[in-house]
Amino acid sequence: MARERRPWAAAAAAAVLLVVSCVAAAPLQQHKHDRISGNNAAGGVLDDDPVGKLKVFVYEMPRKYNHNLLAKDSRCLSHMFAAEIFMHQFLLSSAVRTLDPEEADWFYTPVYTTCDLTPQGFPLPFRAPRIMRSAIKYVAATWPFWNRTEGADHFFLTPHDFGACFHYQEERAMERGILPLLRRATLVQTFGQRNHVCLQDGSITIPPYANPHKMQAHLINPGTPRSIFVYFRGLFYDMGNDPEGGYYARGARASVWENFKDNPLFDISTEHPSTYYEDMQRAIFCLCPLGWAPWSPRLVEAVVFGCIPVIIADDIVLPFSDAIPWDDISVFVAEKDVPRLDSILTSIPLDDIIRRQRLLATDSVKQALLFHQPTRPGDAFHQILNGLARKLPHGKGVFLQPGEKVLDWNAGLENDLKPW
Ligand SMILES: *[C@@H]1O[C@H](CO)[C@@H](O)[C@H](O)[C@H]1NC(C)=O
């Protein structure tokens, strides 16, 4: 069935070239003046400057919670959870930092739970609950601020696959739920899916870390024709963990492969070429299907390289979704509609594609997804601060009565309660 040649393939290929020449012909300045607005009421907030809108107190923690973990294995500086470390470094020298906790709006605990790597370099989250619990205990015993709110004016970076559920398999993550001690805190996490136990109200969904320098080094001439219609590199099946298929990516990736492996419009494969980043810049659509978790660094890469993300992950909550007009720059395809992916994408009108490409070319959207070293105005660090600032002032329910307790220090799995 997938082998059948589609009659419109040639027409679509012609459209591809047309799209490219239209965009290339538009004057560069014009891109800058395209307004980012769209469906979200918050249009324009990407350029907000958080300085003056919030004050953050950074707890000084014993080195075992952060520096020592990093010293043990610096590979956690380059993996997709590295925002946890860079956010700490950013805040230490940020203008929103205050050294006076009495005037702080937010309290931040620098603890690197995703930097506790296995000897092979895997960021398995099994000790994370104990590290986190130990850090909170330390904070609660050392300063008076935790007990005032039991964490409701505290934020934590929990960038692992399923955030503070601290497991990489969805089923197990859901069984575990969010670590009980973090249930009043604001969690800054990569994981985002509506109506999911691992995303609590008030969380801030952030992009995964993708190295900006590395991407920069692979930029090609922006006038290069986008001669690939659909591009994807990655797994379709996870043989090691799901030999039968069907669980991994809830079957969506297997369906992409089975339906389109022989379709000439689809440049898809498991091979990871050295020209991966260049290829994305030669493609119109980049598939961003869920894997074990709904998110992946492809989303950031697609935006940076101006390839329209095709998001296949039902109910995904995208990074900074209250600030980035995702509906205007990407295409959403329901997991059940993957078999129709070809007709869905080829029926998108040309001017619609061009409009999305123009918005994608806007600098503010790209910057918002990047954790720059050193930081730049409007980058992901600033968007996190803007997100925290938009949550102010704290509601009355945040501050507890003297002696009032809401959280249970002894709740959770027996293993998680062991000291670290
Ligand atoms: C906060 O409350 C915990 C018990 O819930 C207590 O052990 C701790 O000493 C309190 N912290 C401070 C600074 O009083």
Residue written as token pair 């801030």:
204
List the beta strands (DSSP E) in 305-418.
308-312, 331-332
Which of 103, 116, 158 has its CA nearest to residue 136?
A: 158
Quick check: helix, strand or coil at residue 320?
Answer: coil
Ligand 1 atom with minimal separation from the 144 CA: 13
Residue with tokens 């998110």: 295
Ligand 1 near 410 CB (within 6 A): no
* Residue spans of alpha helices (H) in 100-164: 128-142, 145-149
Instruction: Please give the number of the atom of ligand 1 that sits closest to the Cα of 143.
Output: 13
Q: For residue 128, what are the contacts with CB-CB under 8 A and spacing of at least 6?
A: 113, 114, 116, 160, 166
Determine what percent of the chain is predicted with pLDDT higher than 70.
90
Q: Which of 319, 246, 256 is nearest to 287 (CA)?
A: 256
Distance (Å) from CA 64 to ligand 1 centroid = 21
CB 144 near ligand 1, within 6 Å: yes
Instruction: Give residue 140 CA to ligand 1 midpoint distance, Å.
Output: 6
CATH number for domain 9-33+211-368, candidates 3.40.50, 3.90.320, 1.10.3470, 2.60.40: 3.40.50
Ligand 1 atom nearest 146 alpha carbon: 1
CA of 234 to the centre of ligand 1 (A): 48
Helix-helix angle 350-360:9-25, to 10 degrees: 40
Check if 400 has its Cβ closer than 6 Å to any atom of ligand 1.
no
Q: Which of 379, 382, 327 is nearest to 356 (CA)?
A: 327
> Positive or negative CA dihedral for 149, 152, 154, 160?
positive
Tell me the two tokens of residue 344. 């869905």
Cα–ligand 1 centroid distance for 115 (angstroms): 28
284: helix, coil or strand? strand
pLDDT confidence band for 31 (50 / 70 / 90): very low
The β-bridge partners of 156 are: 187
Supply 395's token pair.
């509601």
What CA–CA distance (Å, rounded) separates 91 from 47?
19
What's the 142 CA to ligand 1 centre distance in angstroms?
A: 8
Instruction: Report the nearest-CA residue for atom 13 of ligand 1.
Output: 144
Going from the Cα of 392 to the center of ligand 1, the distance in angstroms, rounded, reads: 26
Helix (H) / strand (E) element for 205: namely: strand 204-205
Q: Which of 31-45, 121-135, 227-241, 259-273 has the lowest mean pLDDT?
A: 31-45
- Residue 70 in contact with ligand 1 by CB distance below 6 A: no
Q: What are phi and psi of 51, to 5 degrees?
A: -65, 130
| pLDDT value at residue 29 | 33
Q: What is the pTM of this model?
A: 0.89
Give the domain ranges of the chain: 9-33+211-368, 46-209+374-417
SS3 355: helix
Residue nearest to atom 2 of ligand 1 (CA): 147
**Token pair 């603890």: residue:** 111
Q: Is 141 in the pocket of ligand 1 (CB under 6 A)?
A: yes
User: Is the C-beta atom of 348 inside 6 A of ligand 1?
Assistant: no
Cβ proximity of 228 and 281 under 8 Å: no
pLDDT at position 323, please? 96
Q: Which atom of ligand 1 is nearest to the CA of 405?
A: 5
Tell me, what's the pLDDT at 245? 75
Cis ω before 419 (30° cut-off from 0): no
Tokens found for residue 399: 């501050």
Say if residue 5's pLDDT is above 90. Answer: no
- C-alpha–C-alpha distance, residues 311 and 374, integer Å: 30
Model confidence band, residue 6 (pLDDT cutoffs 50, 70, 90) = very low
Q: Which residues pair with 51 in a beta bridge?
A: 54
Average model confidence (pLDDT) for the chain?
90
Q: Which of 406, 62, 387 is nearest to 203 (CA)?
A: 387
- Please state, in angstroms and as integers, the Cα–Cα distance from residue 80 to each residue in 6, 224, 319, 392, following that order: 38, 29, 14, 29
Contact status, residue 286 vs residue 307, Cβ threshold 8 Å: yes
Nearest-angstrom CA–CA distance, 311 and 302: 11
Residue closest to 83 by CA, chosen among 375, 316, 290, 391:
375
Shortest-distance atom of ligand 1 to CA 409? 5
For a mutational test of ligand 1's pocket, the pick from 136, 138, 146, 147, i.e. the residue with the most ligand atoms closer than 8 A to its C-beta, is 147
Q: What is the pLDDT of residue 35?
A: 39
Cα radius of gyration rounded to whole Å, the chain: 22
Q: Which residue has the higher pLDDT, 169 or 142?
A: 142
Residues 177, 193 contacting (CB under 8 angstroms): no
Report whether residue 402 contacts ligand 1, using a CB cutoff of 6 Å: no
Question: How many angstroms does the Cα of residue 154 sit away from the middle of ligand 1?
Answer: 16
pLDDT tens column, 87-142? 999 999 999 999 999 999 999 999 999 999 999 888 999 999 999 999 999 999 99
Residue 26 reports pLDDT greater than 50 = no
Each residue of 150-159: pLDDT tens digit?
999 999 999 9
